[in-house]
C-alpha cells in the first residue's frame, strides 16, 4: 500500500510520530507540496493524505492508482468530492478532534479583552507597577463575564461546548441555531439573527462556511451590535467581512475582536485586521494543541485502517 502525505508539517512539525502510518504501508511524507508538484509526488499513490493541498478533478483523473483521500482536518472543501465519487475514490475527514482546544482558544481571546493580562504584563515590565502610587492600579476597563450575554452562531460540537463553558462562567447564552428550544439544554435560548447581534455582549462564530453564512458579519450586522461587545471568530475567515470589522474597531463601534482565522491564510500584508485596534490575532492555531494533533493522527490512521478492512468511518 503506497501512501503519500502531501503537507504534513502543520500536523507534525516534529513532535509526533508517523510510525503508525508507516506500519500500514510504504509511506512518503512531504512537509509541503506546491500544486505543480502533486502529480509527480503522488503518481503511484493509492492513498493520499492532505490538509490544505487541493485535490481537483484534474488531479484525480491523472492519478490512476488513487483509491483513498484522507483529509487531515474537519473541513473537506479542498477535495472535488463529485470527481472522487465518480472515480470510486473514498474521501474521509477528521471530525470533532479539536473541540476542547478550540473552546479554550475562544475563551483565551475573550479573557485577553476582559482582563488585559498581556497589556498589564508589558506595562509592568516597563515599570508601571513599580512606580504606582497605590498597591494596585488599572488604566483599562476590566470586565466580569458573569451576567453578560454570550451569543453563539451554530451549536455543533464546538458551539455547544462553548455554551457549556459560558454557562459555567455565569453568562446568559443565546444562539442562532437550527435546533428548536425543546432540543436545547437548559440555559440556552434560540434567537433570530438580528436579536443575536443586538443582544450579545460576546458573539462567537461556530457555523459552517456556506453561501448563506459568507460575510455573516458585515457592516449591517456590525451596526446592530453594542459598542461594548466583543466578536470572536475561530470558525472560518470568510464568515467575516474583514474590512467592515476593521472599520468598526477603528471607529469605536465595537469594543474588540478575537480572530484565529482569516479569509486568506497566510494573510496578505495589507489585511486590515493586522493593524486594527483592539483586535487580538492568532495564526489559525486553535486546533493545534499537542493533544488535538495527537488525536488527529490517531483518527487519520484509524480512518485508513477502516478503509482497508472494509469498515469505512468518517466518510464524506
Catalytic residue check, 113: no
Helix or strand run (H / E) with residue 60: helix 57-61
Cβ-contact 68, 85 below 8 angstroms: no
Catalytic residue among 58, 265, 291, 298: 265
| Short-list 28, 30, 26, CA closest to 8 | 30
Q: Which residues contact 85 (CB under 8 A, 6 or more apart)?
A: none
Catalytic residue among 236, 242, 293, 295: 236
Catalytic residue among 189, 243, 253, 284: 284
The number of beta carbons lying within 10 Å of the beta carbon of residue 247 is 16
Dihedral angle sign, alpha carbons of residues 274, 279, 282, 284: negative
Separation in Å, CA 85 to CA 73, 82, 106, 137, 242: 19, 5, 36, 63, 35
Catalytic residue check, 41: no
Q: Point out the residues that are catalytic.
A: 236, 265, 284
Amino acid at each position: 500500500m503506497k501512501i503519500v502525505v502531501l503537507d504534513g508539517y502543520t500536523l507534525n512539525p516534529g513532535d509526533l510520530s508517523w510510525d503508525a502510518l508507516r506500519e500500514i504501508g510504504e509511506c512518503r511524507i512531504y512537509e509541503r507540496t506546491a500544486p505543480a508538484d502533486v502529480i509527480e509526488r503522488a503518481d503511484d499513490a493509492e492513498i493520499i493524505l492532505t490538509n490544505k493541498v487541493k485535490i481537483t478533478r484534474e488531479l484525480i483523473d491523472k492519478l490512476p492508482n488513487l483509491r483513498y483521500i484522507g483529509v487531515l482536518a474537519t473541513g473537506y472543501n479542498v477535495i472535488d468530492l463529485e470527481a472522487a465519487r465518480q472515480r470510486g475514490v473514498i474521501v474521509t475527514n477528521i471530525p470533532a478532534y479539536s473541540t476542547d482546544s478550540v473552546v479554550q482558544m475562544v475563551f483565551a481571546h475573550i479573557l485577553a479583552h476582559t482582563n488585559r493580562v498581556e497589556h498589564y504584563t508589558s506595562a509592568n515590565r516597563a515599570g508601571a507597577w513599580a512606580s504606582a502610587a497605590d498597591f494596585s492600579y488599572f488604566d483599562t476597563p476590566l470586565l466580569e463575564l458573569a451576567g453578560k450575554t454570550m451569543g453563539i452562531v451554530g451549536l455543533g460540537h464546538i458551539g455547544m461546548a462553548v455554551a457549556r463553558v459560558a454557562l459555567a462562567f455565569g453568562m446568559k447564552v443565546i444562539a442562532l441555531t437550527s435546533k428548536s428550544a425543546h432540543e436545547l439544554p437548559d440555559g440556552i435560548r434560540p434567537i433570530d439573527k438580528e436579536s443575536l447581534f443586538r443582544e450579545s455582549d460576546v458573539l462567537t462564530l461556530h457555523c459552517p462556511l456556506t453561501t448563506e453564512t459568507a460575510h455573516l458579519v458585515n457592516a449591517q450586522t456590525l451596526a446592530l451590535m453594542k459598542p461594548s461587545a466583543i466578536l470572536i471568530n475561530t470558525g472560518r475567515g470568510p464568515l467575516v467581512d474583514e474590512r467592515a470589522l476593521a472599520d468598526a474597531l477603528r471607529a469605536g463601534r465595537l469594543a474588540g475582536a478575537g480572530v484565529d482565522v482569516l479569509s486568506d491564510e497566510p494573510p496578505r500584508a495589507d489585511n486590515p485586521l493586522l493593524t486594527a485596534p483592539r483586535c487580538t490575532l492568532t495564526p489559525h492555531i486553535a486546533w493545534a494543541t499537542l493533544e488535538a494533533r495527537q488525536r488527529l493522527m490517531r483518527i487519520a490512521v484509524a480512518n485508513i485502517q477502516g478503509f482497508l478492512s472494509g469498515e469505512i468511518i468518517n466518510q464524506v
